[in-house]
Amino acid sequence: MQFSPDLDFARKLDAADPLAHWREQFLFPQHHGAPVRYFCGNSLGLQPKTVRGALLAELDHWAEHGVEGHFRGEQPWMYYHKFLQAQSAQLVGALPHEVVVMNTLTVNLHLLMCSFYRPTPQRYKIIMEAGAFPSDQYAMETQVRLHGLNPETTIIEVAPHPEKTGRHYLLTEEVLEAIEAAGDTLALVMFGGVNYYTGQFFDLQAVTKAAHRAGAIAGFDLAHTAGNLPLQLHDWGVDFAVWCSYKYLNSGPGGPSGAFVHERHANRPELPRLAGWWGHDESERFQMRKGFKPMYGAAGWQLSNAQILSFAAHKASLDMFAEAGMENLRAKSLQLTAYLEYLLDGINTETPRFTLITPRDAQARGCQLSLLTDDRGRALFDYLSENGVVADWREPNVIRFAPVPMYNSFEDVWHLAECIRNAPK
Ligand SMILES: *Cc1c(COP(=O)(O)O)cnc(C)c1O
């Protein structure tokens, strides 16, 4: 599409946007009496208006029924995780029994690594992206130590070399080469789906194939991917994946995590795992006997009964994604992000102030654009904040913007760019 830099053009795009009405379904923080321009949906998504009602309904259910709430009503708590299953599966391209909502993200990463990172003296290495989100780095490091291994000699980090290439993200070939080079020493490839810093979306299918060719397991952290990009985890053959619900999935601070375990591992009771009663065969869960018998599929990794209040918020949000459709959201997202890129490029030719470190290839990114700034970056970021733009600052000097298709408008994007243009040089 041919873009144009004037505000009228942004308004025309909004008028033609079939998803524009979703914006009305969200609560925006206010700045001097007007909604902020919110570009932080990759850190914490905005609150859907339906969440409050969903929470109150569960509080009422509890007030009215007490313990019987587990079995009464349209959504008895006893089965609550099942009410999230179909929509979660749809969202990540999985079969329903391949997904479960439980715990929080880092917890699930550990639980699934307990099962799928099984180092042997010969095959023990982990490949991950350099500069992964700190929680993932700590999870890898401590999992490796749990097996009595040394992280230094066990974890291979694949890094871009901007000083040599000018490129701040990885080429798929570089990832595949690292996997091939590790060969039969490789136990696990554990990558982010989208890197939180650069916004790069990795080719998960190619990475999975390469991992399997090397005889390794492929796992992904989809914290920045779920609700951002359409996925086909089942067809791509991914072994396991985890994600959170409070970033692009708008389910509230500390919202629950989703986990995916491929069908090929659905019925493997011999896989070591850290178990709890909710992962035990449902038909005899309340017989309270010895001997753990896992449920079929991802449900067999559950530990505890559902966190009803946070699941209820998540359910309200998943309903919106199911109705809006991930493919439709992606179609708008491609346009919205390309429009921001176009406006930023326009500003940067006047006076270069930043470098885009996100891939320019739209297939290799989702919503997010990350700008590497110079020593005036913090002042620029503060100016944006003072002018009602909510973005994200990452030390030492990166500003991240996430135009989110469900609630950001083209006019939002125009105002963001205008604010950057007007910032003191
Ligand atoms: C946001 C994020 C986390 C946070 O994990 P929690 O356990 O939900 O606090 C971990 N890893 C990645 C890649 C993230 O983006």
Query: What is the tens place of the pLDDT at every residue in 327-355?
Result: 999 999 999 999 999 999 999 887 788 99
CA-nearest residue for atom 10, ligand 1, is: 135
User: Ligand 1 within 6 A of 244 CB?
Assistant: yes
Report the residue among 42, 106, 198, 202 best suited for mutation to probe ligand 1: largest number of ligand atoms under 8 A from its CB: 106
pLDDT value of position 289? 82
Q: Other CB atoms closer than 10 Å to residue 30's CB: what's the count?
A: 10
Helix (H) or strand (E) holding 17: none
- For tokens 């009496």, name the residue: 33
CA of 233 to the centre of ligand 1 (A): 19
* All residues at 6 or more sequence positions from 318 whose CB lies less than 8 Å from its CB, including other chains: 84, 87, 88, 91, 249, 251
Q: Which residues of 245-271 are buried (b: 16+ CB within 10 A; e: fewer)?
A: bbbbbbbbeebbbbbbbbeebbeeeee
Pocket of ligand 1 contains residue 246 by CB under 6 Å: no
Which residue has the least CA distance to atom 8 on ligand 1? 105
Element (H, E) at 100: strand 99-102
Helix (H) / strand (E) element for 63: namely: helix 50-65
Please state, in angstroms and rounded to a whole number, the distance separating the CA atoms of residues 198 and 359. 8
The rounded distance, in Å, linking the Cα atoms of 200 and 252 is: 24
Q: Is the CB of 197 under 6 A from ligand 1?
A: no
Interval 121-166: pLDDT, tens: 999 999 999 999 999 999 999 999 999 999 999 999 999 999 999 9
Q: What is the pTM for the complete model shown?
A: 0.97
State how far the Cα of 31 lies from the Cα of 38, in Å rounded to an integer: 11
Contact (CB, 8 A) for 168 and 162:
yes
Please give the Cα distance from 376 to 381 (Å, whole number).
9
* Domains of the chain as residue ranges with CATH: 7-35+326-422 (3.90.1150.10), 56-324 (3.40.640.10)
Residue 20 to residue 408: CA distance in whole angstroms: 8
The per-residue pLDDT for 159 is 96
Residues of the chain with pLDDT under 70: none
Gap from CA of 56 to ligand 1 centroid (Å): 28
End-to-end CA distance of the chain: 31
Q: Which pair of structure tokens corresponds to residue 272?
A: 């070591």
Q: Which ligand 1 atom minimizes the distance to the CA of 244?
A: 8
- State the Cα–Cα distance between residues 345 and 13, nearest whole angstrom: 19
Nearest atom in ligand 1 to the alpha carbon of residue 224 is 15
pLDDT of 260 reads 98
pLDDT score, position 349:
87
d(CA 285, CA 359): 49
**Which residue among 40, 112, 133 has the greatest number of ligand 1 atoms within 8 angstroms of its CB, and so is best to mutate?**
133
What atom in ligand 1 is closest to the CA of residue 136? 11
163-170 long-range contacts, CB within 8 A, separation 24+:
168/198, 168/355, 168/357, 168/372, 169/195, 169/198, 169/200, 169/357, 169/358, 169/359, 169/364, 170/129, 170/200, 170/202
Verify whether ligand 1 is closer than 6 Å to residue 224 (CB atom). Answer: yes
What is the predicted pLDDT for the residue at 80? 96
DSSP string, 284-337: GGGG--SS--BPSGGGGG--S---HHHHHHHHHHHHHHHHH-HHHHHHHHHHHH
CA 373 to chain CA centroid, Å, is: 25
Residue 105 beta carbon below 6 angstroms from any ligand 1 atom: yes
Residue recorded with tokens 């709430």: 69
Task: Report how far residue 153's alpha carbon sits from residue 416's, in angstroms, rounded to the nearest whole number.
Answer: 45
pLDDT of residue 351: 73
Pairing of β 37-38 and β 240-244: unpaired
**What spacing in Å lies between the alpha carbon of 425 and ligand 1's midpoint?**
35
Strands 354-356 vs 257-261: parallel, antiparallel or unpaired: unpaired
Can you give the pLDDT at residue 284? 87
pLDDT at 1: 82
Would you tell me the crossing angle of helices 134-146 and 105-116 to the nearest 10 degrees? 30
Closest CA to 114 of 311, 306, 294: 294
